[in-house]
Structure 1
Amino acid sequence: MKSRRQAYGKVATELSLKSDRALRALLERATPTASGIGGRTSRVRLAETTVLVKEIRLTDKERLARIGGPPDDDELGARASGRTSR
């Protein structure tokens, strides 16, 4: 059984190597688990580890800073937690 630190390191490395397009594709294949006021949650398999993904909308300020233009209502931000499933 691999340690949590090893799993975290592998997941972090794999995420950092993915392009925006590859991250979006990964999220589109994610298995939805819940949806609520705070956003949607899903699970993905990455680096031989199940990872919880929390999708949240970017603020207008974040969208403007990222793309340098007016916000797009369809553009979502996503943050993958460093926590892994048991």
Structure 2
Amino acid sequence: MLADLHYSKAVKLFQLLKDAPCELLRVQLERVAFAEFQMTSQNSNVGKLKTLSGALDIMTRTEHAFQLIRKELVEEFDQ
């Protein structure tokens, strides 16, 4: 529970910065890996499904980070 709280705080801080998309993406990927780790200790299929749905939700929230990275790459390529 505490790790999830720290990841959530880190995501909020990186979203406020708006110029650290790689770090935001890294934190989100770590959150997904943590969810997968949690899932291995769960016994019920309902719990596993809920955990994986949460991981999928985390990944859908990374679209903005990918867009920022793409924008930076395009600007770098144009130069």
- Provide TM-score, normalisation by structure 1: 0.29
Q: Which has the higher strand share?
A: 1
Q: Which has the higher helix share?
A: 2
